[in-house]
A = this chain, B = another copy of it.
């Protein structure tokens, strides 16, 4: 292994493997000490190797009893579909296009009717308040994030 980041990456992936796909919780400072590096290197490793695109979910908490929790998301056939939708969304999306996308997800049984209604409400121009063209950008941004979360909350079960 050529560098510390790769070593830590491997170590964490090993941990995740060993733990039967369960979430793995680490103490940043503890790992840093174990590998004799600065704590912020863990942030670097996580930011570059445990992203959503890589199929990981990372949560953390500061303060006493703080932690970093990494969960592996099983890659799913829906992943491709959602990735495609994200591409369609791009940087800006009209309300109508947004509604079509949501409709599509509902028809493909990726979301329930209630979930669809919630998302429809969120991306409605009345909810977003701000003016065009920013509104379409904001809608795209939010929708994109929502697709991400749908992707991994699907697969947790």
Contact = CB atoms under 8 A, between A and B. Distances in A.
A153 B111 CA distance: 14
Interface stretch (A12-20, A78-86, A93-101, A117-125): A117-125
Interface residues of A, number: 39
Q: Which secondary structure characterizes the binding site on chain A?
A: helix
A61 to B, nearest CB: 8
A127 B114 contact: no
Number of copies: 2
A148 B122 CA distance: 11
A59 to B, nearest CB: 11
A67 to B, nearest CB: 6
Contacts of A114: 115, 150, 153-154
